[in-house]
Amino acid sequence: MSLPLTELVLASHNAGKLKELQAMLGEHVRVRSVGEFSDVEPEETGLSFVENAILKARHAARVSGLPALADDSGLAVDALGGAPGIYSARYAGGKDDAANNAKLLAELANVPDAERGAQFVCALALVRHADDPLPILCEGLWHGRILHQARGEHGFGYDPLFWVPETGCSSAELPAEQKNRLSHRARAMALLKARLGLA
């Protein structure tokens, strides 16, 4: 589906994510933050990344009157049945990244390397308006495994624990530019740009 798009609202208050997505979309599309229109965060009641992305996109379109893009992402660990999944950001009860990482390491304490497979997941949802019956959905997966201890100083979230086989280092050891080419979000964005005729 091709969509004439010159401006959209990103369903996020995160300035880093806004900058990253603006860079990925290029100068032809102006990306604005939902924070310009509302401070209210919708409740993420979905049971999947896709459902939560759609909820957030519809909310952003409703408060802004613009087409809206939302991203819901997280880490799915094979040995934990896909956890922390949609609860990745609040895995340790709403504490910080360090607490989330500590909990993940504790959960995997006795799991051998061969069973520590994981993937970062990004689901993107783009709606033309709040009641759009045909959201554009794109998903990106970034496969790796969970290390036994943190490595690297870059990135955020679970990056220090996520081993990237094709680079031979953790996600937190990658320069931002390289991570933004390989990541789950980059893969989902590449699909979205192709769908929008921006690739």
Beta-strand relationship, 136-146 and 162-164? antiparallel
Buried b (16+ CB within 10 A) or exposed e, 62-82: bbbebbbbbbbbbbbbebbee
Q: How far apart are alpha carbons 114 and 83 in whole angstroms?
A: 17
- What mean pLDDT is predicted for residues 138-149? 97
- What mean pLDDT is predicted for residues 8-12? 94
Is the pLDDT confidence value at 2 over 50? no
Could you read off the pLDDT of 83-127 as tens digits, one per residue?
A: 999 999 899 997 899 999 999 999 999 999 999 999 999 999 999
Q: How far apart are alpha carbons 192 and 90 in whole angstroms?
A: 27
Could you read off the pLDDT of 62-90 as tens digits, one per residue?
A: 999 999 999 999 999 999 999 999 999 89
Beta-strand relationship, 30-33 and 7-10? parallel
% of the chain beyond a pLDDT of 70: 97
Sheet of strand 7-10: strand arrangement:
30-33, 7-10, 68-77, 117-127, 136-146, 162-164, 169-170
Query: SS3 string of 40-61?
Result: CCCCCCCCCHHHHHHHHHHHHH
Residues assigned a catalytic role: 72
In this prediction, residue 13 carries a pLDDT of: 85
Q: List beta partners, residue 144.
A: 118
Q: Residue 3: pLDDT band by 50, 70, 90 thresholds?
A: low
Determine contact, residues 142/120, Cβ cutoff 8 Å: yes
The pTM is what? 0.90
